[in-house]
Amino acid sequence: MTVERIVRTVAETSLEVREGLAGRRGYEDEENPSGEKQLAADLWADELFEERLLDIESVAAYASEERSGVVEAERTSNGDGRYHVAVDPLDGSSNLRTNNAMGVLLGVYDSPLPARGRDLVASAYVLFGPLTTMVVAVDGSVTEYVLERDGKSVEMRTVTEELTLPDEPTVYGFGGRVPDWPAGFENYAREIETELKLRYGGAMIADVNQVLTYGGVFAYPGLESRPEGKLRLQFEGNPVAHIVETAGGRSSDGERSLLDVTPERIHQRVPVHVGNTRLIDRLEATLGN
Q: Does 254 sit near ligand FBP (CB under 6 A)?
A: no
DSSP code string of 135-168? EEEETTEEEEEEEEEETTEEEEEEEESS----SS
Q: Does 88 sit near ligand FBP (CB under 6 A)?
A: yes
Q: Does 175 sit near ligand FBP (CB under 6 A)?
A: yes
80 annotated ligand binder: no
Q: How many residues bind ligand FBP (CB under 6 A)?
A: 13
CB of 88 to ligand FBP, least distance (A): 5
Closest C-alpha among 224, 238, 225 to residue 267: 238
Q: Which CB, 73 or 233, lies closer to Mg ion?
A: 233
Output phi, psi for 181, to 5 deg.
-75, 135
Cα 251 to Cα 19, 37, 164, 287: the distances in Å are: 33, 28, 14, 14
Cβ neighbors of 241 (< 8 A, separation 6 or more) are 117, 251, 257, 258, 259, 272, 274
Most distant pair of Cα atoms in the chain: their distance: 59
How far apart CA 38 and CA 51 sit, in angstroms, is 19
139 annotated ligand binder: no
83 annotated ligand binder: no
Q: Does 103 sit near ligand FBP (CB under 6 A)?
A: no
Q: Which stretch binds ligand FBP (CB under 6 A): 7-15, 20-28, 92-100, 278-286?
A: 92-100
Q: Which CB, 73 or 105, lies closer to ligand FBP?
A: 105
Cβ neighbors of 122 (< 8 A, separation 6 or more) are 3, 6, 7, 106, 107, 108, 136, 137, 138
CB of 159 to ligand FBP, least distance (A): 23
Among 65, 119, 144, 245, binds ligand FBP (CB under 6 A): 65
Q: Does 66 sit near ligand FBP (CB under 6 A)?
A: no
CB of 95 to ligand FBP, least distance (A): 7
Q: Which residue ranges make up the annotated binding site?
A: 65, 88, 90-94, 200, 230, 236
Q: Which residue ranges make up the annotated binding site for substrate?
A: 91-94, 200, 230
Residues that bind ligand FBP (CB under 6 A): 36, 65, 88, 91-94, 175, 202-204, 220, 230
Q: Which residue ranges make up the annotated binding site for Mg(2+)?
A: 65, 88, 90-91, 236
